[in-house]
């Protein structure tokens, strides 16, 4: 991707507000956690996180408060556990 387009997309994304725990609760979606060191991952129920952090807490910042239960590392990434679209079976172009 060109440098100008990449930078424009980065600025646009930075201006978007992060999804909060309350928004995930309204949609019935959990929080997916991934350890960047060992690859261990898990989904955590939003109700538990809201009880500890509050409904306005931004999802991307949750990882800074977590520790991997597999290796003890604090390098944990978090994102909404959006429902899967399933396996992609056809990669051919239909243009």
pLDDT of 42 reads 94
pLDDT of 41 reads 95
pTM score? 0.73
- Give the pLDDT confidence of 49-93 residue by residue, as tens digits: 999 999 999 999 999 999 999 999 999 999 999 887 666 666 565
- pLDDT over threshold 80, residue 95: no
Domains present along the chain, CATH in parentheses: 16-80 (3.30.1600)
- Give the pLDDT confidence of 13-36 residue by residue, as tens digits: 778 888 999 999 999 999 999 999
What is the secondary structure of the chain as a DSSP string?
A: --HHHHHHHHHHHHHSPPPBHHHHHHHT--EEEEETTT--EEEE-HHHHHHHH-TT-BGGGGGGG---TTT--S-EEEEE-PPP-----------
């Amino acid at each position: 991707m060109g440098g100008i387009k990449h930078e424009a997309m980065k600025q646009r994304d930075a201006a978007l507000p992060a999804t909060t725990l309350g928004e995930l609760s309204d949609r019935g979606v959990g929080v997916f956690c991934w350890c960047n060191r060992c690859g261990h991952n898990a989904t955590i129920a939003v109700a538990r996180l809201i009880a500890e952090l509050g409904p306005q807490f931004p999802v991307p910042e949750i990882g800074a408060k977590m520790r991997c239960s597999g290796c003890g590392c604090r390098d944990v990434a978090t994102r909404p556990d959006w429902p899967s679209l399933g396996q992609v079976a056809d990669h051919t172009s239909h243009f």
